[in-house]
C-alpha cells in the first residue's frame, strides 16, 4: 500500500505538511495525491476512535456480531443478498468470510431487544438466510489498533473460603 495511505490509516489527523516531511516530498504534492485518493474513492472517510466507556452521558448502545449463513444466488453469488442486508440501518459493517458461515455483520441497537428484533423480524425472514448466530459484545479491549483504557470502578470482591 502507498506510504501516504499507511500514514493516514494510522492517524488521519496527520497533516500533508507532516507527511511531506516524513517522505521528503513537497506538501503541495502530498495534498494533490490525497485529493485524488478522495476523488477516486480510495479514501472514503476519516474516522475517530472514541472510547465510549470514558465519555460521560453517552447514549449506551449494544453491538453484536452476527454470523449469517446464506444461499448464494445464481449468477450473482452473495453480492445481492449482502447488499440487501447491509442496507438495513442497524448494520454498521458487513463482510463476506470463509469458514462455517458466509457473512459477518456488526449490528448496533439501543438495547438487546432492538438487536434481537432486527434478527427475528428483518434478517432471519429473508429467503436466502439459512441461519444466524448472534454474539453480543460485552467489553472492548482494542478497536482499530487502539488499546482502550477502562474505568476501574467495578473492583471484584475477594472471596475466601
Kind plus residue range of the DSSP H or E element containing 109 = strand 103-109
pLDDT higher than threshold 80 for residue 154: no
Residues 60 and 132 in one domain: yes
pLDDT at position 47: 86
pLDDT at position 17: 97
Residues 89 and 29 in one domain: no
In a domain, 50, yes or no: no
Rg (CA), the chain: 21
Question: How far apart are alpha carbons 9 and 24 in whole angstroms?
Answer: 19
Mean pLDDT within 33-40: 96
In a domain, 161, yes or no: no
Q: Cβ–Cβ contacts within 10 Å for residue 129, how many?
A: 20
How long a stretch of residues is the chain? 161
Residues 76 and 33 in one domain: no
DSSP letters spanning 59-88: PP-EEEEEEEEEPPBTTTBTHHHHHHHHTS
pLDDT higher than threshold 90 for residue 68: yes
Residues 29 and 95 in one domain: no
Question: How far apart are alpha carbons 27 and 90 in whole angstroms?
Answer: 40
Residues 59 and 35 in one domain: no
Residue 77: phi and psi, rounded to 5, are: 65, -130
Residues 65 and 34 in one domain: no
In a domain, 47, yes or no: no
Residues 133 and 60 in one domain: yes
pLDDT at position 149: 83
**Tally of domains within the chain:** 2
pLDDT at position 54: 77
Mean pLDDT within 38-57: 86
Q: How confident is the model at residue 155 (pLDDT cuts 50, 70, 90)?
A: low
In a domain, 90, yes or no: yes
The residue among 38, 75, 29, 62 whose CA lies nearest residue 138 is 62
pLDDT at position 58: 59
pLDDT higher than threshold 80 for residue 16: yes
Residues 28 and 88 in one domain: no
Q: What is the pTM of this model?
A: 0.78
Task: Give me the chain's average pLDDT, please.
Answer: 91
Question: How far apart are alpha carbons 41 and 156 in whole angstroms?
Answer: 48
Task: Give the domain extent around 71.
Answer: 55-138
Cell numbers 447491509 label which residue?
A: 86
pLDDT at position 152: 65
pLDDT at position 124: 97
Amino acid at each position: 500500500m502507498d506510504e501516504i495511505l499507511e500514514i493516514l490509516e494510522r492517524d488521519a489527523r496527520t497533516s500533508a505538511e507532516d507527511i511531506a516531511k516524513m517522505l521528503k516530498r513537497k506538501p503541495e504534492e502530498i495534498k494533490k495525491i490525497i485529493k485524488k485518493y478522495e476523488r477516486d474513492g480510495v479514501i472514503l472517510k476519516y474516522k475517530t476512535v472514541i472510547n465510549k466507556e470514558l465519555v460521560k452521558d453517552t447514549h449506551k448502545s449494544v453491538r453484536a456480531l452476527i454470523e449469517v449463513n446464506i444461499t448464494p444466488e445464481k449468477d450473482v453469488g452473495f453480492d445481492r443478498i449482502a447488499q440487501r442486508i447491509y442496507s438495513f440501518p442497524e448494520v454498521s459493517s458487513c463482510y463476506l468470510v470463509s469458514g462455517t458461515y458466509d457473512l459477518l455483520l456488526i449490528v448496533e441497537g439501543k438495547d438487546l431487544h432492538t438487536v434481537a428484533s432486527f434478527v427475528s423480524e428483518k434478517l432471519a425472514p429473508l429467503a436466502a438466510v439459512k441461519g444466524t448466530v448472534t454474539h453480543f459484545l460485552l467489553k472492548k479491549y482494542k478497536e482499530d489498533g487502539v488499546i482502550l483504557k477502562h474505568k476501574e470502578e467495578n473492583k471484584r470482591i475477594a472471596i475466601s473460603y
